[in-house]
């Protein structure tokens, strides 16, 4: 699901890293967004809505809507779509974190 060779931008050099989402390890590429890394691993639900407990994930993808809020390394309400992946990053969905 990732573009590795683009006709205009060329070939991307990527360093593979490991991230953890809700206690499960996944592979990702350093520098891509947390949301993109999780989507590439077939994870579409990042949290559940407060009132109706409906699944929420990427909506705007540019940091405006706050639908993609997760907890990253203990920091609450981090927008997954504009946060870059780092090696051994620990991500928790909002409901899993009890927020």
How many whole angstroms separate alpha carbon 38 and alpha carbon 27?
9
Report the nearest approach of ligand FES to the CB of residue 34 (Å): 9
Q: Which two tokens stand for residue 27?
A: 């592979």
Nearer CB in complex with ligand FES: 8/22:
22
Report the nearest approach of ligand FES to the CB of residue 22 (Å): 18
Report the nearest approach of ligand FES to the CB of residue 24 (Å): 21
How many whole angstroms separate alpha carbon 24 and alpha carbon 2?
21
What count of other Cβ atoms lies within 10 Å of the Cβ of residue 30? 15
Where does this chain bind ligand FES (CB under 6 A)? 58-61, 63-68, 79, 81
Nearer CB in complex with ligand FES: 60/90:
60
């Amino acid at each position: 699901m990732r573009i590795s060779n683009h006709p205009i931008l060329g070939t991307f050099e990527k360093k593979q890293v490991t991230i953890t989402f809700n206690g499960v390890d996944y592979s990702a590429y350093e520098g891509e967004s947390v949301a993109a890394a999780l989507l590439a691993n077939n994870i579409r639900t990042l949290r559940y809505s407060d009132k109706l407990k409906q699944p929420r994930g990427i909506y705007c993808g540019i940091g405006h809507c706050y639908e993609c809020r997760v907890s990253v390394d203990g920091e609450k309400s981090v927008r997954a779509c504009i946060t870059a992946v780092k090696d051994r990053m620990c991500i928790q969905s909002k409901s899993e974190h009890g927020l």
